[in-house]
Amino acid sequence: MVTTTAQSATRRAILLTIKRRGEARAEELAQSLGITPSAIRQHLGALVGERLIAVREQRGAAGRPKHFYSVTPAAEEMFPKTYGDLTCELLTYIKQEEPRMVDHIFDQRRARRGEQARARLGGKSFEERVAELARILDEDGYLADVERGEDGTWRIVEHNCAILEVALRYGQACSSEINFLRDVMPDADIDRVSHMASGGHHCAYVVKPKATPKPVRTQAARAPKATKAPTTRAATTRAATRAATTRAKGTKAAGPKSTRAKVPAKRPRA
């Protein structure tokens, strides 16, 4: 029985052989690796299914068509790459010439990523934007996923750092990452709770909607209380009271009238 480890080792050997040759037929691979042609064809079928190799058919004047296999761009990640070393080396030269230029470069990267992300997040709800943001990070090579917590928050986890070699030497890479997330989700509070560059097993971010601040009423903003207009009855009563008071004052000023009856004058006797 062939184990999974043995299969992986054989398929990797097939990929390396094809990579060195550029193209190869099953018979050539079998001879080079010391494996039967039928076993080689089984492995080739699996690699075609995983889209790690492509097949080109060549028909001749007679006989069966010949099949040539070549690696696909998807398989390129399986071969050694030194992008991280090259990037760090170039950043070192830039820092020596102009130290602030390194910050500027990461700011430009953050702006470019933000512009592309906003085009995909527009018109979506808060939850949909969090899920789409996790997909964007996953497509960027961070092996990201998202889960909803019982407390109503979301947790975005990056299981891989696509730029770990750079992040270990330049902190701007990590600060640019979290600022990018905050830029494209301005209505969210985003905090990093785990950090690979600091020794964590992954990078994780807690995302929650920002609390809506309550409006504060100031003394100047309060409208003055409206003064109620007097009712007709109250106004009439006050007017009557003022009139009675005025009459009373007038009577007192004039003094009391005499109550003595007038006596008719006596007529002289004849």
Same domain, 101 and 58: no
Query: Which of 108-112, 173-177, 216-220 is predicted least confidently?
Result: 216-220
Residue 225 domain-assigned (yes or no) = no
Amino acid at 243: A
Please give the pLDDT value at position 255. 52
Q: How confident is the model at residue 83 (pLDDT cuts 50, 70, 90)?
A: confident
Q: Quick one: tokens of 83?
A: 């992008």
Q: State in Å, rounded, how far the first CA of the chain is from the last one.
A: 179
Same domain, 92 and 201: yes
Residue 240 domain-assigned (yes or no) = no
Q: How confident is the model at residue 13 (pLDDT cuts 50, 70, 90)?
A: very high
Q: Are 142 and 158 in contact (CB under 8 A)?
A: yes
pLDDT in tens, 92-139: 999 999 999 999 999 999 999 999 999 999 999 999 999 999 999 999
Query: Which of 43-57, 93-107, 164-178, 215-229 is predicted least confidently?
Result: 215-229
What is the mean pLDDT of the segment spanning 215-222? 63
Which residue is associated with the tokens 């690699």? Answer: 47
pLDDT in tens, 16-65: 999 999 999 999 999 999 999 999 999 999 999 999 999 999 987 777 89
Same domain, 16 and 63: yes
Please give the pLDDT value at position 259. 47
Please give the pLDDT value at position 2. 42
Same domain, 73 and 184: no
Boundaries of domain holding 168: 83-209
For residue 203, pLDDT over 80 is answered with yes
Calculate the CA dihedral of residues 99, 102, 104, 105 and round it to 10 degrees. Answer: 150
Residue 162 domain-assigned (yes or no) = yes
User: Among 14, 49, 78, which residue terminates a domain?
Assistant: 78
Residue 257 domain-assigned (yes or no) = no
What is the mean pLDDT of the segment spanning 198-223? 81
Q: How confident is the model at residue 1 (pLDDT cuts 50, 70, 90)?
A: very low
Same domain, 92 and 158: yes
User: Which of residues 246 and 132 earns the better pLDDT score?
Assistant: 132
Q: Are 144 and 137 in contact (CB under 8 A)?
A: yes
Q: pTM for this structure?
A: 0.60
Q: Quick one: tokens of 156?
A: 């975005």
Residue 242 domain-assigned (yes or no) = no
User: What's the CATH number where 47 sits?
Assistant: 1.10.10.10
Which residues are CB-contacts of 33 (< 8 A; sequence separation ≥ 6)?
10, 13, 14, 17, 40
| Domain count across the chain | 2
Same domain, 96 and 14: no
Residue 241 domain-assigned (yes or no) = no
For residue 5, pLDDT over 70 is answered with no
